[in-house]
Amino acid sequence: MVYKVLGTTSAILLFLQISLFVMRRAYKYLPKKPNWFPPILKFLKSAHIYTGIALLIIGFIHGYFALGTIKLHTGLILWMGILFAFLGFLFKNKFGKKWIVYHRTLGFILIGLFFLHYFFPWLIK
């Protein structure tokens, strides 16, 4: 039962991770910029690194508790994608400015992997 709470927590953290990009784009194209938007963007930006680390840790624990072991599974593929996004952040100085394109593209791939994991968790046996 704990793995379900951890899974829900991981999904919320992933949503927070992706929402930074979505909210920035929404704000950029709004014709009239509301005053309450920038504090939300500031919060999401400052929380991004911490929610990413929490997502890695909680996602790993969720998978271990759900399966009782580490094995090839749609959740492991999703977790590896999150790990690659985090590693891209860690090595951003080596990639230069192109790292953000990689990071954002991987973010959208992670959304697809999340839905794959959520709706078809046993696709890989």
Query: If you average pLDDT over residues 101-123, what whole number do you get?
Result: 95
The pLDDT, as a whole number, for residue 125 is 73
Please state the rounded mean pLDDT for residues 107-115: 96
pLDDT number for residue 110: 97
DSSP string, the chain: -HHHHHHHHHHHHHHHHHHHHHHHHHHHH-SS--TTHHHHHHHHHHHHHHHHHHHHHHHHHHHHHHHSS--S-HHHHHHHHHHHHHHHHHTHHHHGGGHHHHHHHHHHHHHHHHHHHHH-TTS--
Residues 115 and 75 sit within 8 Å (Cβ to Cβ): no
Residue 1 has pLDDT above 80, yes or no: yes
The contacts of residue 33 (CB under 8 Å, 6+ apart) are 27
What per-residue confidence (pLDDT) applies to 96? 87
The per-residue pLDDT for range 51-63, each reduced to its tens digit, is 999 999 999 999 9
End-to-end Cα separation, the chain, in angstroms: 22
Domain boundaries, the chain: 1-120
CA distances from residue 62 to 100, 112, 114 in whole angstroms, order as listed: 28, 19, 14
Asked whether the predicted pLDDT for residue 97 surpasses 90, the reply is no
pLDDT in tens, 14-48: 999 999 999 999 999 999 999 999 999 999 999 99
pLDDT of residue 17: 96
pLDDT in tens, 59-80: 999 999 999 999 999 999 999 9
